Amino acid sequence: EIVIADFGLVNHFNQKSHSRGTPGYMPPEVWEQSLWTPRGDVFSVGVMIYSMVSGRGSPFAEGAWTNRTIMKNTLQLNPELSTGSNEVKDLVNSMLQKCFWRRPCVSMFLADQWFEVSSDESFTLNIEALTSVMKRKSKNDTHRAMLADVASRENIAQLRTLNKVFARLDSNNDGFLSAHEVRASLESRGWTSANIDTLMQNLAGDIGGEVSYQAFMGQLMAATETEENRLLLNLFSEVDKSNQGFLLLSDIKELLQRPAVAQVLRDRAPADILIEMDTDGDGKISFAEFKTAMQGGAELQVNELRQ
């Protein structure tokens, strides 16, 4: 995905403007004729892909101390990638053609097989996380809400593998996964209807429901029991602001104010959630009760997890 982050130069352009851009990334025709075309952008992106794959800077700016040298390199050098797949090498070579009409247009560039190969390979590897979620025991709405809250505050932008799974499943890019979207994607990859139903039940609590980005990421982040224990302990410790080792009704009320939690639990009353978790009826929720209420598994004391 290419994101335009800065339009800072736009205000400086007028009819008397000279060519502008970043030396080392500007195409030859800009240096020679001040001519910017969409295929000039293709050249610039080609330089960026070259840099990302090679781990170096622009091949036209390496060792150059002046713009004149960079211009000369851009007009004369024909850099070739020595690393990467044959697909990316062919793509970059076509994008860095000196004559702009020989470069692929934007639509051809985006349709290149390198993007398809890279995307399919990563999705095949990352789909293992979905399998882990599908195989786990179905949890309740409170559990899904808590994990969604954890995900909303984690730096999940760095979890590229999980983000790619969501992006591939979210075909209409609305930030939610419907049962239809999940089914359409996974059936083509050999998943049975029964397994897809189980996955949706675990993700959304309903085989025909939908799941938000944060709820989805929370479930995948906690796909293993060890990781889930860590996430739940972190959440419990954060809400337990008094460090007394238990949660009170006031803590539950505060938790329900968090957008990710409210989105899942909606109209659930704090007192009802307290009763649901407080198995010994003492008006307080220990971590063992907190964990058992959401996992339905064996109790695990806070001190044991902190060791």
Q: Give 1-10 pLDDT, tens digit per residue.
A: 555 555 554 5
Asked if 39 contacts 101 with a C-beta cutoff of 8 angstroms, the reply is yes
Greatest pairwise CA separation for the chain in angstroms: 80
Return the structure tokens found at 255: 């938790």
Return the structure tokens found at 159: 């979890």
- Is 72 in the same domain as 144? no
Residue 295 placed within a domain: yes
Domain count, the chain: 2
Residue 228 placed within a domain: yes
pLDDT one-digit tens code per residue, 190-207 = 788 888 888 888 777 777
Give the position of tokens 């293709």.
Answer: 42
The boundaries of the domain holding residue 243 are: 119-301
Residue 3 placed within a domain: no
pTM: 0.39
- Is 150 in the same domain as 276? yes
Boundary of a domain, candidates 115, 148, 171: 115
CA-CA-CA-CA torsion sign (246, 249, 252, 253): negative
**Rounded mean pLDDT, 23-51:** 90
Boundary of a domain, candidates 115, 130, 155: 115
